[in-house]
Structure 1
Amino acid sequence: MFELFDQADLDDQNQVVIALAVFFHDIVYDAKRNDNELMSIEVFKQFAADISLEQQLLDRVGLFIAATIAHAVPAQARSHHLTLFLDFDLAILGMPPETYDEYAQQIRQEYIHFPDDAYASGRAAVLSKFSGRDTLFFHKSMQERFEAQARENVVREIRALTKGSSDPAM
């Protein structure tokens, strides 16, 4: 995500917001929990209080992190920078197949506490939500760069999961 962040043309204020959101959005990550994003927001709020960040900045970063829960943007909160941050978060889906396959294997290891059939069903459902969208990415530049490969990767992994294998390379 930081590589994409470094390539983005951002003003100073939005650089700070996106950098903090990238850093903190998965600061709490426990595959056995379902409140990681909310807990990450709490860690960020404590950090923000410790260094006396402005409330407006705290609110924006919290909104960005919360948006990763469903990778959807409420209409009243839609902004170029929020959607760009969400595109950064999904860019892994559009990586070359070997990189994506390694990522998919890492995800399986994170959720190793689930039996294969439960994992395959849950992961396929998550990926199907993404593949059911008109576009995976909000920004045209991100669509041009990642959309086609992301769709191939996601479809391939869903196929592998529904065939009884959690290895997308199979």
Structure 2
Amino acid sequence: MTKNLKDEWKQHCLKVSNDLELIEKLWLEIKKQYSLKIRHYHNLMHLENMLTHAYSIQDEIKNWQAFLFSIWYHDIVYKPTRKDNEVKSAVLAKIRLKQLNIDEKTSKIIQKLIISTKNHKINLTENNDNAFLLDIDLSILGSDWNTYKNYIQNIRKEYSIYPSFMYRKGRKKVLYHFLERESLYFTEIFQNKYEEQARKNLVKEIELL
């Protein structure tokens, strides 16, 4: 997995920079951050799954460069106890994108895409890129039950600092928030593919909490 991700990163970066030393340095940072012990779900596997989904809908994406960089950096900073992970991830992305000579306009788009994953609300409406990013980030919700069960177990591990009664209360709030939405997904592609199963999974998880 790691080798494939590294190759993906390198190929994407070579389209904007020929600085192999910098590209390698930034990859090592990504690998380190996404491999921290606290990351049981928001790790390299999550990154790989998102990229796999991204390539499956590549023809739908208008700004492919920005879209991919937003995936790579959307969880680069992650501490379960903090509420500013997305903002800090966007700030770090801004610094790294400048090093890669990404133009300011594209950088701002990437930052907005990253920040949109905080509350899963669309920040950019000129095309469906933001909608697809959010749908990809939540695609796990519509997986088969065994995969979903593994996901919720890993999320619980990430929040292991909290006692069960606090975790259950907070988790239920999140789940009900999603269920109250008219649709969990923004795009028709993901609605058709995952909506029904996602709602079943959320309801079942609530019953188990």
Query: What is the match of residue 139 of structure 2?
Result: 91
The 5 Å alignment of 1:1-170 reads: 1-10=50-59, 14-74=63-123, 77-78=124-125, 79-161=127-209
Name the aligned partner's letter for residue 194 of structure 2.
Answer: F
Q: Aligned residue pairs: how many?
A: 159
The structural deviation recorded for 1:13 is 5.9
**CA–CA distance in structure 1, aligned partners of residues 60 and 183 of structure 2:** 26
Q: Any stretches of 5+ residues in structure 2 without a counterpart?
A: 1-49
CA contact (8 A) 2:77 2:88 kept: yes
**What TM-score, normalized by structure 2, do the two folds share?**
0.73
The letter of the residue matching 2:148 is Y
Q: Which runs of 5+ in 1 are unaligned?
A: 162-170
TM-score (norm. length: structure 1): 0.89
C-alpha contact 2:62 2:129 (8 A) present in aligned 1: no
> Runs of 4+ in structure 1 displaced over 4 angstroms?
none
- Percent same amino acid at aligned positions? 32
| Alpha-carbon distance in 2 for matches of 1:104, 1:56 | 37
Deviation of residue 141 (structure 1)? Answer: 1.2
| Structure 2: distance between partners of 1:92 and 1:12 | 20
Structure 2 counterpart of 1:164: none
- Mapped to 2, the partners of 1:72 and 1:12 lie a distance apart of 18
Matched to 2:58, the amino acid is D
